[in-house]
Structure 1
């Protein structure tokens, strides 16, 4: 019982003093912000000599790191979520030409100038919001301590007003002890205002650092344009692959079969044995062509995916994989055909990568739908170390998911295991037809 009471007391004390400590931490960031503002102004002034083009990107990067830290603190300490407004950095930023492109990109990004304004305004307004509760508490402590040192301080020449009500001069009297309730009131006001001013600081930070109106829409349009271009490129590449497979596979076998049948027709009256051999070879060629056409159709859209849905299609895929694959499916309905196709081929690509590169023996696949999103995780017991930026396989999956506003997350510490999580926003639109 005593331990519970002590813990409750500690929690209550923590709630009282923690906002003050956080306000002091925020106030401690204001001086570096002002220093960065001065550096940004100096970098812009140095553009005349050309040195600013090299210095400005470094300073802006430091400002953005500090601004992102303020966004994180606003969410953690005030519950205020602030979106990151920076435009995507263009590729090819190496070398002198790349540095010039990066410089122009920073100058044309409106967030650069909003951050610059933040480094100037926030130390003033935000500094007051962050420091005022602590100042009130310290002022209250002064009021509590002053009556005990009244004569000594006034004897040293201290003459002033406390809270605008009590004149500190002469010998201590009743008015000195009136400072104690005023000091207690100041401390109470400081403790009461600390969490509220901390929240106000978060809202003020959002006012300065949040994206401008229409930014989310412009980002959405840009994302859709990029994914549309990537999808079109992917479709063109897929069509070229199908054309190549047909030309080199089934078409070649059908041409050979036609030649065999033509030769058999010429030899039908003179060499029946040769005709028999040509017919047997033609039958073998037709069987191979049919198998290749089935594989090709399966690669375009497996029949089991259309008939049975994503769960059974992935189970069938797991049976054809040379690994021990465990599949868990929780889909109470069917998804739209494009989403099912994208998810199926993403899992196919992941299993292919595991078989080729992961050096693992077991794979676990979990497929479920909750909170209006399809979530798929593929985990293997390999040595880890997978990097989404190192190969084209994971990047291709990311592009495929991006067409549906999906995301790909890779967790692959050295030593394993590797977990790849995919998520696509979608809805279930029909009753379950598979056995999952």
Structure 2
């Protein structure tokens, strides 16, 4: 159903996105790759991986073997716990290396939290932690992979550049080594050297091919390192989810407390103050009723006006908590009511097969309400649109306007708080608002019928 408030406009949802210039390189990627900083960092990562993995593997296998072997005595438990704890330290170093050299966005796992602040409690926490055992598994798996990746990376890189530059340094072999060039074959009867112009050219071309190929091979190798670090050294999905839920719970609590403070302030400064004034006026009117009936009648008439104003303020406050039209008739009617109060013409299009969960419906309503308020106050727009639809198990809504743009989630505006509220229920808020407009704000919420 589409409802148009004011002048109608385009039938599609929202407005077309502004064209943004894309950066174009004059040199193809295959030619840039050998000289890019990313290639050098990834090559450096592979070169460092070998000595690091040797130390980690040696330490890990030694401590694990010693700990398991000593389990028949009490010494096995502290040795095993100490080894796992130290490997967690190695894991911190590996995560830091992956962040700086591979640009990998990875968090640190939760620290060890013993149930009792005793040595036995600490050892038990280390041994029970799945993170500790994943660090041990990383030290065992990463060693053979690091040997392979180091060998392939350094061989391709060295042979590629050596062959590519061979025509530049081939002269040094007959001068200093007493041979005509690089020897391909030799026995008691004859030898084959790369020493004529044709062979030098072919060698350089092979070197060029290897040099151009090496960055892509190194990137493929480092992609495996990324998977190993993310899979074994990063926080598990359960840990990430716990952190998210704790953060979301804090946002929900803060939002609820802020809403309660707002309601209390509105009641205190609005309806409550008017009711107190009304009670005083009625008391004065009661006193004057016998002495001056006309003055008492005027005071009662003024009190009647105050009652109407107080009732309107209470209705507005109730609508801000949860509008009755949303409960009775759903999002279509509720959003149409909000759009009718906007200062610019708003087209509303709600296409839902049935109503979502009441909580999600309320969040969608207040999201659109706040976005339309922003349009009225800040956008400088002449028209706007609201579109609501369902995609699989998600409720999608989009509010667009043709205003001046420049809205930003990171500028400390109300959009940041709105994004936090949506995130608390696993929702997403995306803002597309280039300078000069138009602005398109898209929200995604779980359906949760």
Distance 1:198 1:36 in 2: 15
Q: CA deviation at 1:122?
A: 6.6
Deviation track 1:343-369 (CA, whole Å, cap 9, x = no partner) reads: 211211112222222222222222111
Structure 1 residue 424, shift from structure 2 partner: 1.7
Task: Measure the CA separation in 2 of the matches of 1:285 and 1:64.
Answer: 64
Distance (whole Å) between structure 2 residues aligned to residue 371 and residue 65 of structure 1: 39
Instruction: Return the structure number with greater relative CO, CA threshold 8 A, min gap 6.
Output: 2
The change in CA–CA distance for 1:119 and 1:408 in structure 2 (over 3 A counts) is farther
Structure 1 residue 291: Cα displacement: 0.3
1:126 aligns with 2:138: no
Quick one: distance in 2 between partners of 1:213 and 1:66? 16
Are 2:429 and 2:443, in contact at CA under 8 Å, matched by a contact in 1?
yes
CA distance 1:335–1:32, change in 2 (3 Å): same
1:354 to 364, 375, 387: 375
Equivalences for residues 287-436 of structure 1 within 5 A: 287-427=308-448, 429=449
Separation of aligned partners in 1, 2:399 and 2:152: 48
**Aligned mate of 1:32, from 36, 39, 44:** 44
In 1, distance between residues paired with 2:108 and 2:429? Answer: 20
SS of match in other structure, 1:390: coil
- 2:99 paired residue among 49, 53, 64: 64
For residue 268 of structure 1, give the secondary structure of its aligned residue in structure 2: helix
* Separation of aligned partners in 2, 1:128 and 1:286: 86
Please report how far the alpha carbon of residue 87 of structure 1 lies from its aligned counterpart in structure 2 after TM superposition: 4.8
- Look up the match of 1:237: 258
> 1:125 Cα deviation (Å)?
2.8
| Kept after mapping to 1: 8 A contact 2:95/2:229 | no
Which deviates more, 200-209 or 360-369? 200-209
Q: Normalization by structure 1: what TM-score?
A: 0.60
Question: Shift of residue 287 of structure 1?
Answer: 0.5
Task: Please tell me whether the aligned partners of residues 24 and 130 of structure 1 are also in contact (alpha carbons under 8 angstroms).
Answer: no
CA distance in 2, matches of 1:334, 1:131: 61
State whether residues 107 and 235 of structure 2, in contact with CA within 8 Å, keep that contact through their aligned partners in structure 1.
no
1:17-59 CA-partner distances (Å, limit 9, x unpaired): x99x999999865433257779x9xxxxxxxxxxxxxxxx9x9
Distance 2:236 2:374 in 1: 37
| Residues 68-83 of structure 1 aligned to structure 2 (within 5 Å) | 68=103
Conservation of the 8 A alpha-carbon contact between 1:375 and 1:422:
yes
Query: What SS class does the counterpart of residue 333 from structure 1 fall into?
Result: coil
Return closer, same or farther for 1:300/1:359 CA change in 2, 3 Å cut-off.
same
Q: CA deviation at 1:63?
A: 4.4
How much has 1:133 moved relative to structure 2? 10
Cα contact 2:39–2:218 (8 A) shared by 1: no
Root-mean-square deviation (CA), in Å?
4.6
| Unaligned stretches of 5+ residues in structure 1 | 1-17, 41-56, 72-83, 89-108, 136-154, 162-166, 173-189, 430-436
Ranges in structure 2 where 5+ consecutive residues have no aligned partner: 1-28, 53-91, 110-130, 159-178, 192-209, 211-215
- 1:129·1:201 contact (CA, 8 Å) conserved in 2? no
Q: How many residues align?
A: 315
Distance 1:416 1:204, change over 3 A: same
Residues 244 and 134 from structure 1, CA distance in 2 versus in 1: closer, same or farther, beyond 3 angstroms?
Answer: closer
Displacement of 1:302 after TM fit? 0.8
Helix, strand or coil for the counterpart of 1:334? coil
> Which stretch of the first structure deviates more once superposed, 293-302 or 363-372?
363-372
Taking the aligned partners of 1:157 and 1:273, their CA distance within structure 2 comes to 123
Distance change (3 Å), C-alpha of 1:227 and 1:284: same
The structure-2 alpha-carbon separation of the partners of 1:159 and 1:279, relative to structure 1 and needing over 3 Å to count, comes to: closer
Alignment partner for residue 261 of structure 1, among 247, 265, 282?
Answer: 282
In structure 2, distance between residues paired with 1:211 and 1:314? 47
**TM-score between both structures, scaled by the size of structure 2:** 0.58
Distance 1:313 1:211 in 2: 49
Change (3 A) 1:265 1:380: same
> Which has the higher mean CA deviation after the structures are superposed, 204-213 or 402-411?
204-213
State the 1:265 CA deviation: 2.1
User: Are the equivalent residues in 2 in contact too, given 1:260–1:278 (CA < 8 A)?
Assistant: yes
Q: Which residue of structure 2 aligns with residue 141 of structure 1?
A: none
**Cα distance in 1 for residues equivalent to 2:181 and 2:265:** 97
Task: Verify: 1:283 aligned to 2:304, yes or no.
Answer: yes
